Amino acid sequence: MDKRLMRLLAPGTRLHFLVLIVFGCISFAYSVPVAVAELCAVVLLYLYYRRANSRRQQDIVKYMENLTYHVDNATKDSLVNFPLPMVIVNIGTGEILWCNDLFYDVTGSREHLFETGISDVVPGFDVHWVIEGKNECPTEVVIGDRKYSVYGTLVRSNKERGRNLLCTLFWVDITEFSTLRKKFDDSRIITSIIAIDNYEELMKDCTDSEKSVLTAESDKCISEWTEKANGILRKYDRDKYLFVFERQYLDKMIEDKFSVLDEVRKLQNASGMSVTLSIAIGKEAEDFRECYQFASLALEMALSRGGDQAVVKGKYAFEFYGGQSQEVERRTKVKSRVMANALMQLMRDSSRILVMGHKTADIDSVGAAAGIVCMARKFGVPANIVMNMQNNSAKQLVSRLRTAEEYETAFMTPEDALLGADSKTLLVVVDTNRPEYVESARLLEAVNRIAVIDHHRRAADYIENCAINIHEPYASSTSELVAELLQYTVASTDILRVEAEAILAGIFLDTKGFGVKTGVRTFEAAAYLKRVGADMVEVKRLFQNNINDYMQISQIVSNTKVYRNDIAISVLNKDIERQIAAQAADELLNINGIAASFVIFLNGDSAIVSARSLGHYNVQKVVERLGGGGNITNAGVQIPNVDVDVVDHDLRTAIDEEYFSEEKDK
């Protein structure tokens, strides 16, 4: 209240008192007591004003004395003639108490600035960073067409009263330096690798003339796009290009959303397959070698996420753009055979094998883990599945597996696995590639030999330094990948019927009953499992719900609201099992006109989003904005200690920013 009154009664407001006296005199014509009271109030306010003004002048004198302490009289005038713009500000009120002539030149004003708010003279400027102990303003200050670095010192001018914090601000013109720095940053070299993702599939079964035409059209499309950046483009392989350009053009590419991704997708081969690109960019590197390394890592990331996107790798993080197309299925199984041989050798050299999936294990992760246990049994190496037996979504499958003699002691808690691990232990991580999503992060850190088998698109934070990384985003499920590995590592008679059914159940789960994200290799894997004894009827029984679960699914569906015409969002502020929510999200896709579904629910202290899509929307990119992951048709995120309504708002914002930002701009 004292600050507001001081601002109201600032020096130079004598006219205000004159107006108050005039109104008081006029009041005599209506009521003498009221007029006397008004005049008395004016006198008291004026006395307060004189006292506050006198105190303020004393504070300034004391401050100047502190500032010039130990300075002889001959140099005290140097403050007035200081070579930099200088101003003294009351931090509590933001008022200018004194400034030199150079500060007038900075503001372009010759009018009275004393007792004027510093934010009125320099819009948006705040001095509270001085109280935080900083000597320099954290941001550049722009006044007109000039830029300044502002330095400040703090002095308490009235220690007895413990108030009136004053600071001196020095303004250093850095316009030329800032311009030079921007030119330097803009001219930094950026290295990019451009790759045609599906080159082998495009050129397969094409005639030589068709290959030449498609290659020429692709080269032309890429060249026209890169010409805008005035860089150097060189083709160093049949499907790869090296592109070097200046940093200033990168922001334009991002703003343009890497339009070449859409342009090149218009090119098709004779069978109708579209050309897709992966653009990998390295920035913020110390030298050319590191910049190229960043670009190589970005390319690996782009390909592991299914291609058809741009990935920018900086010093500390990845940035993703595009990624709207479905992954292209590789029909050759050469890589599977090579990876199977490498995994066999790694297993033979291990003392024991631990198989670990993601938190709240589902049927796909348990089915894939059962396949790895089958492989380990073939080589005589003891193997265990590490999982939380209480918190998982595959209790029926686990119960069925434990009916087999080989699985009576196969399941192990993360704590027991950590105690039993040694230097030759092999940890196989299935159905996830993110370290924070595994069942036990401590076990992941403790084991040196790690193999990863996963089908989800890779996120920015992934498990690094693994001995083997079998990562195929095109695959329908991790169980499909494991089924392919089994064909090259064990005989058909070595696979238990219950194991074959567990793996088939994993495929059935992630394909929604072979209806979503299925390819030729998906059905080949299912056929192989059928040949080794899997019974589809038994698999279907694993997905049966009781009447209570079915009622919960119906409640989730009935609570759904349609957003943006074809996106179903259901929000429930209560605890629901993940498996029930996932089935409800799948059920929503059966509604006519729905292209994507999101179910938001509580599970303990966390809010969880279960996302599904038919392929038009990439739900992975949406939930990534909330900190989650997955793939184009199946994704999710767990957010601790947050209200479901907040998650609902953030989810809708993420959908708008990812798919409807252009509409919002209009």
Residue 569 near residue 648, CB atoms below 8 Å = yes
Residue 380: strand, helix, or coil: coil
Rounded to a whole number of angstroms, the CA Rg of the chain reads 35
- Same domain (yes/no): 433, 522: yes
- Residues in Cβ contact with 93 at an 8 Å cutoff, skipping those fewer than 6 apart: 3, 6, 7, 117
What number of other Cβ atoms are within 10 A of residue 571's Cβ? 19
Residue 331 near residue 520, CB atoms below 8 Å = yes
For residue 510, tell me if it sits in a domain. Answer: yes
For residue 366, tell me if it sits in a domain. Answer: yes
- Same domain (yes/no): 420, 505: yes
Token readout for 174 is 């850095």
- Same domain (yes/no): 370, 317: no
Which carries the bigger pLDDT value, residue 515 or residue 535? 535
- Of 322, 351, 379, the last residue of a domain is 322
Structural domain span for residue 53 = 2-67
The per-residue pLDDT for 53 is 66
Spell out the long-range contacts of 148-155 with Cβ–Cβ below 8 A and sequence spacing 24 or more: 148/85, 148/106, 148/172, 148/173, 148/174, 149/174, 150/125, 152/127, 154/91, 154/130, 155/63, 155/66, 155/67
Q: What is the DSSP letter of 494?
A: G
Q: In the Cβ-directed half-sphere of 38, how many Cα atoms lie within 13 Å? A: 18
pLDDT at 326 over 70: no
For residue 407, tell me if it sits in a domain. Answer: yes
Instruction: Tell me the mean pLDDT in the region 561-567.
Output: 94
- Same domain (yes/no): 369, 280: no
Alpha-carbon distance of 6 to 39, in angstroms, equals 20
Residue 278 near residue 194, CB atoms below 8 Å = yes
pLDDT at 459 over 90: no
For residue 53, tell me if it sits in a domain. Answer: yes
For residue 165, tell me if it sits in a domain. Answer: no
- Same domain (yes/no): 595, 520: no
- Same domain (yes/no): 459, 518: yes
Alpha-carbon distance of 656 to 664, in angstroms, equals 8
Instruction: Tell me the mean pLDDT in the region 138-152.
Output: 88
The per-residue pLDDT for 7 is 46
The per-residue pLDDT for 321 is 86
- Same domain (yes/no): 563, 536: no
The per-residue pLDDT for 56 is 63
Residue 507 near residue 477, CB atoms below 8 Å = yes
Residue 151 near residue 169, CB atoms below 8 Å = yes
The CATH number for 364's domain is 3.90.1640.10
- Of 512, 541, 570, the last residue of a domain is 541
Residue 153 near residue 129, CB atoms below 8 Å = no
Confidence of residue 350 (pLDDT cuts 50, 70, 90): very high
Residue with tokens 């798919």: 659
The CATH number for 314's domain is 3.30.70.270
Angle between helices 520-531 and 478-489 (to 10 degrees): 60
The CATH number for 607's domain is 3.10.310.30
- Same domain (yes/no): 341, 282: no
Instruction: Tell me the mean pLDDT in the region 609-628.
Output: 90
**Total structural domains within the chain:** 4
Q: Estimate the share of the chain in helix, then strand, then coil, as percent rounded to the nearest 5.
A: 45, 20, 35
- Same domain (yes/no): 603, 559: yes
Angle between helices 547-558 and 578-588 (to 10 degrees): 50
- Of 50, 67, 84, the last residue of a domain is 67
- Same domain (yes/no): 401, 517: yes
pLDDT at 48 over 60: yes
- Same domain (yes/no): 247, 278: yes
* Segment (H or E) for 62: helix 32-67
For residue 143, tell me if it sits in a domain. Answer: no
- Same domain (yes/no): 575, 503: no
For residue 272, tell me if it sits in a domain. Answer: yes
